[in-house]
Amino acid sequence: MIQLIELLAVISSATFGVLLARRSKLDFVGVFSLALMVAFGGGTLRDLFLDRHPLFWIKHAHYPVIVFVLALVTSFIPRLPASVSKVLYFPDALGLGLFSIVGADYALASGTSWFIAALLGVVTGTFGGVIGDVVCNEVPSLFRSAPLYATCSFVGCWLYILSEPIPISEPLRLVAAISAVVILRLSAIHWNIRLPEFQED
């Protein structure tokens, strides 16, 4: 189940990276590179922190191939509609939910504390997007006043962790936690829910 979720996370995040790159008018090399960074950035950091080798996308060699095919197929589309910016939110939210819970699960399996597992879930879910924003010369939404992002991931990770003693099936726990992250993220975007900013007097 975790492997399936990780595969879906790679596809969702790579799709977000491809759309982000196309919006920034990058060529094929740029599209492929950005999609790789977004899809594998957070998980790579998680694996390095947990000393997991080989890195998840090297162990599963078909992951980079999937990203390559996504980038190649979209390169045949000469022009994307202006509304692509709105479409970006959906693969972004889905990738956030999928990768966050996978990251928390791997951290728990490595013997970390609950709090560290939640943090590594957030790292897995968000840092691919951070790298993508930096490459596109944008201030990452993780570090500025923007609709809730890391908070959604953090809440979902804790929901997954704390639901472990509840007598429900593992697939149901995973789906519930992932759905919570996705719904929270899309709701935050729709209603522009943000954390308060710290301002100087």
Count of structural domains, the chain = 1
The tokens 């920034």 sit on which residue? 24
Residue 37's nearest CA partner among 145, 131, 125 is: 131
Assess whether pLDDT exceeds 80 at residue 199.
Answer: no
Distance (Å, whole) CA 127 – CA 124: 6
Check residue 81 and give its pLDDT.
67
Does residue 195 fall inside a structural domain? Answer: no
Distance (Å, whole) CA 8 – CA 104: 16
The tokens 């819970």 sit on which residue? 101
CA angle 153, 112, 194 (to 5 degrees): 20
Check residue 153 and give its pLDDT.
97
CB 160 within 8 A of CB 115: no
DSSP H stretches of helix in 52-201: 56-59, 62-75, 84-87, 89-109, 114-135, 150-162, 170-190
Residue 72's nearest CA partner among 41, 40, 35, 43 is: 35
Distance (Å, whole) CA 102 – CA 127: 14
pLDDT tens track for 59-107: 999 999 999 999 999 877 777 666 666 678 899 999 999 999 999 999 9
Distance (Å, whole) CA 194 – CA 201: 21
The tokens 């879906």 sit on which residue? 8
Check residue 82 and give its pLDDT.
63
Residue 114 is part of which domain span?
2-190
pLDDT tens track for 138-162: 888 888 878 999 999 999 999 999 9
Does residue 166 fall inside a structural domain? Answer: yes
Does residue 104 fall inside a structural domain? Answer: yes
Does residue 30 fall inside a structural domain? Answer: yes
The tokens 């594998």 sit on which residue? 40
Count the neighbouring beta carbons within 10 Å of the beta carbon of residue 133.
18
Check residue 84 and give its pLDDT.
64
Does residue 111 fall inside a structural domain? Answer: yes
Does residue 35 fall inside a structural domain? Answer: yes
Check residue 101 and give its pLDDT.
97
pLDDT tens track for 25-58: 888 999 999 999 999 999 999 999 999 999 999 9
195 φ, ψ (degrees, to nearest 5):
-75, 150
